[in-house]
């Protein structure tokens, strides 16, 4: 599966870069009986529209038809990563400093595996968050290798 994603990333990256967009994420998943190739793109300033997605989809479809790296039938979807954009690359984390995020860890840290709060710092070693636990705000340090999932989050308590 990762070979397919690596091949697709090689095909979509030049298209996205030519359009001055950013490849945020991609996935190839089976849902029910159908396979989906999902490409998530954004502008570098954050704010993608349907025309951007359609243009990437058209150009990528042409390339995929020629190269045909996926054996089974699938649906191609090109869209925005949405308000809860995943944080995967170094640049994603760096842009998210000062923003409200959600993090899930592989194993408990201070007895918890899920954290929501402000990302206050990011480095090669990991990230620091300010989280609210009941009525207290505390700083939490999370090593990068312990992070299973990280994404921007909507703060409903603000």
The whole domain housing 6 covers 2-79
- Where among 59, 79, 99 does a domain terminate? 79
Over pLDDT 90: what percentage of the chain?
69
73-97 pLDDT, tens digit per residue, is: 999 999 998 889 899 889 899 999 9
Domain presence at residue 158: no
Average pLDDT across the chain, whole number: 91
Based on the domain organization, do 103 and 68 belong to the same domain?
Answer: no
Based on the domain organization, do 119 and 140 belong to the same domain?
Answer: yes
- Where among 51, 79, 107 does a domain terminate? 79
Based on the domain organization, do 122 and 73 belong to the same domain?
Answer: no
Domain presence at residue 157: no
Based on the domain organization, do 115 and 59 belong to the same domain?
Answer: no
Which three-class secondary structure string do you get for the chain? CHHHHHHHHHHHHHHHHHCCEEEEEEEEEEECCEEEEEEEEEECCCCCCHHHHHHHHHHHHHHHHHHCCCCCCCEEEEECCCCCCECCCHHHHHHHCCCEEEEEEEEEECCEEEEEEEEEEECCCEEEEEEEECCEEEEEEEEHHHEEEEEECCCCCC
Query: What pLDDT, on a 0 to 100 scale, did the predictor assign at position 46?
Result: 65
Based on the domain organization, do 94 and 67 belong to the same domain?
Answer: no
Instruction: Say yes or no to pLDDT of 57 above 90.
Output: yes
Domain presence at residue 72: yes
Q: How far apart are CA 21 and CA 46, in angstroms?
A: 10
Based on the domain organization, do 19 and 66 belong to the same domain?
Answer: yes
Query: What pLDDT, on a 0 to 100 scale, did the predictor assign at position 151?
Result: 95
104-113 pLDDT, tens digit per residue, is: 999 999 889 9
- Where among 22, 47, 79 does a domain terminate? 79
Q: What's the number of domains the chain is made of?
A: 2
Query: What pLDDT, on a 0 to 100 scale, did the predictor assign at position 69?
Result: 87
118-150 pLDDT, tens digit per residue, is: 999 999 889 999 998 888 899 999 999 999 999
Based on the domain organization, do 63 and 100 belong to the same domain?
Answer: no
Query: What pLDDT, on a 0 to 100 scale, did the predictor assign at position 158?
Result: 62
pTM: 0.80
Based on the domain organization, do 74 and 94 belong to the same domain?
Answer: no
């Amino acid at each position: 599966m990762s070979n397919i994603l690596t091949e697709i990333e090689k095909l979509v990256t030049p298209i996205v870069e030519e359009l001055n967009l950013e490849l945020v994420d991609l996935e190839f998943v089976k849902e029910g009986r159908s396979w989906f190739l999902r490409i998530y793109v954004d502008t570098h300033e954050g704010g993608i529209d349907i025309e951007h997605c359609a243009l990437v989809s058209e150009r990528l479809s042409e390339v995929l038809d020629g190269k045909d790296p996926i054996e089974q039938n699938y649906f191609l979807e090109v869209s925005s990563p949405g308000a809860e954009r995943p944080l995967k690359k170094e640049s994603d984390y760096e842009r998210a400093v000062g923003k409200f995020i959600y993090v899930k860890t592989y194993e408990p840290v201070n007895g918890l595996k899920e954290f929501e709060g402000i990302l206050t710092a990011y480095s090669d070693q990991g990230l620091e968050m300010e989280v609210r636990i009941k009525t207290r705000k505390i700083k939490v340090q999370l090593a990068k290798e312990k992070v299973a999932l990280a994404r921007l989050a909507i703060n409903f308590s603000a």
